[in-house]
């Protein structure tokens, strides 16, 4: 290709180089001086986004969801204030209540790829990394690690907190998993007494023995 004026005398300034070794790839950013490479580093996704935005003369601004607590590659963590939601049951003891509205505790959602982990919060306020967690009071849920069995639920096409919450509550609750998350009674007794009630009784929930930060770290380790 012939280079036209005013670009006859060009020297390399910076470069992004993609290296490949088998199925693995490595992107490296190089800086040059007097035509020779003088430094390099491996860019993070955030750095690369800012670099490309500057290159395109655009502001690298991302507006975060107001309920988002943390995020990372394939991961987002958010909280849901205490508010009612319709629930659907296929387990025989609760099937007569399917479709009715129930009060919900404040919740912490941890979404990793196509998996959800869930905990209840001790207060109806935005948690910090050090907020202690409670078990969530749902069927199709393993209290030990917060894992939600998706069952009949469909993974939402949009990865927004609202879409994941809607998919969770619209799935059919069909069975119990793991240890009981309640201090007394069982899930059947709990939800039978909560249809159309004004608020969820947080005092019924057992402590999970971990903080928000610890729960997120656990999901990342075992994902």
Q: Give the model confidence (pLDDT) of 92-133 as tens digits.
A: 999 999 999 999 999 999 999 889 999 999 999 999 999 999
Strands 107-112 and 75-80: antiparallel
Instruction: Give me the pLDDT at residue 94, please.
Output: 94
Instruction: Give me the pLDDT at residue 58, please.
Output: 65
Q: Give the model confidence (pLDDT) of 33-86 as tens digits.
A: 888 888 888 888 777 777 777 777 766 567 789 999 998 888 999 999 999 999
Full-model pTM: 0.73
Taking the alpha carbons at both ends of the chain, their separation in whole angstroms is 48
Neighbours of 168 (CB within 10 A): 23
Could you tell me which of 80, 86, 195 has the C-alpha nearest to residue 136?
A: 80
Neighbours of 195 (CB within 10 A): 14
Q: Distance from CA of residue 82 to its chain's centroid? A: 18
Q: Give the model confidence (pLDDT) of 71-83 as tens digits.
A: 888 899 999 999 9
Instruction: Give me the pLDDT at residue 150, please.
Output: 80
Cβ contact 194:104 at 8 Å: no
Q: Is residue 8 very low, low, confident or very high in pLDDT (cuts 50, 70, 90)?
A: low
Q: Is 152 helix (H, G, I), strand (E, B) or coil?
A: coil
Q: Is residue 91 very low, low, confident or very high in pLDDT (cuts 50, 70, 90)?
A: very high
Q: How is residue 197 annotated by DSSP? A: -
Cβ contact 190:206 at 8 Å: no
Spatial CB neighbours of 45, under 8 Å, sequence gap ≥ 6: 73
Could you tell me which of 167, 185, 187 has the C-alpha nearest to residue 175?
A: 187
CA atoms of 115 and 38, how far apart (whole Å): 44
Instruction: Give me the pLDDT at residue 152, please.
Output: 66
Instruction: Give me the pLDDT at residue 70, please.
Output: 93
Q: How is residue 10 annotated by DSSP? A: -
Instruction: Give me the pLDDT at residue 161, please.
Output: 95
């Amino acid at each position: 290709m012939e280079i036209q004026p005013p670009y006859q005398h060009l020297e390399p300034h910076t470069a992004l180089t993609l290296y490949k070794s088998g199925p693995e790839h490595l992107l490296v950013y190089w800086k040059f001086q007097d035509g020779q490479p003088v430094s390099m580093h491996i860019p993070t996704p955030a750095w690369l986004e800012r670099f490309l935005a500057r290159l395109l003369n655009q502001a690298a601004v991302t507006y975060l969801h107001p309920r988002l607590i943390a995020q990372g590659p394939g991961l987002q963590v958010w909280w849901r204030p205490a508010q009612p939601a319709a629930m659907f049951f296929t387990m025989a003891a609760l099937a007569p209540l399917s479709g009715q509205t129930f009060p919900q505790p404040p919740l912490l959602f941890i979404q990793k790829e196509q998996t959800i982990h869930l905990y209840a919060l001790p207060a109806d306020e935005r948690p910090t990394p050090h907020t202690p967690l409670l078990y969530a009071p749902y069927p199709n849920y393993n209290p030990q690690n917060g894992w939600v069995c998706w069952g009949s639920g469909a993974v939402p096409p949009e990865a927004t907190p609202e879409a994941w919450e809607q998919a969770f509550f619209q799935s059919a609750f069909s069975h119990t998993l793991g240890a009981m998350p309640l201090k007394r009674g069982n899930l059947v007794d709990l939800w039978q007494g909560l249809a159309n009630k004004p608020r969820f009784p947080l005092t019924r929930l057992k402590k999970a023995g971990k903080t928000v930060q610890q729960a997120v770290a656990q999901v990342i380790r075992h994902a």
